[in-house]
Amino acid sequence: MLEINPPQQTERENYKLLIGSVVPRPIAFVTSEGEDGTLNGTPFSYFNVITADPAMLSLSVQRKKWYSERYNKEYISKGKLCHSHIVSKPYLEQMNKTAASLRPDESELTLAELTTIPSKQISTPGVKEAKVRYE
């Protein structure tokens, strides 16, 4: 049996243990739109189902200083509209590129050369490469 003491480990050690032991672990790729129209895309390692009635998903945002440069949380909080995509192998490398720290007026989707498609019910576009999208 493996026993750990998280306060005695680094954040990176805890992260590796959590993502390696809580399996299967889905990753969400979330798109949201800024007030200036910039489309933001961010991968979320902490993502899951909350309930089926009503249908709800959860995203957890890590509290880190460097994360303040990521605008997805702010965009979602202000507009309350986003697309959550299930990450799959066909676009995994492109999704990994979206973890880059960019300015608020730069789109991770452009950087990763992902294709946007119109949503059916919200204004924020989705990602064509994703096989599963939630509006």
Closest CA to 37 of 125, 102, 112, 126: 125
Which pTM value belongs to this model?
0.74
CB count in 10 Å sphere of residue 20: 9
CA-based radius of gyration for the chain: 16
Judge whether 4 lies within some domain.
Answer: no
Residue 109 resides in a domain: no
| Count of the separate structural domains present in the chain | 1
Tokens 């299967």 map to which residue? 24
Q: Does residue 95 lie within any of the structural domains? A: yes
Residue 131 belongs to a domain = no
pLDDT tens track, the chain, 135 positions: 567 788 888 888 888 887 777 777 788 888 888 778 888 888 888 888 888 788 888 887 766 554 444 555 665 666 667 888 888 888 889 988 988 888 878 888 999 999 999 988 888 899 999 998 888
Strand order in the sheet with 133-134: 39-44, 28-33, 83-86, 133-134
Q: Is residue 10 in a domain?
A: no
- 128 inside domain: no
Question: Residue 67's domain is classified under what CATH number?
Answer: 2.30.110.10
Q: How far apart are CA 82 and CA 31, in angstroms?
A: 6
The boundaries of the domain holding residue 72 are: 23-101
In a domain, 59, yes or no: yes
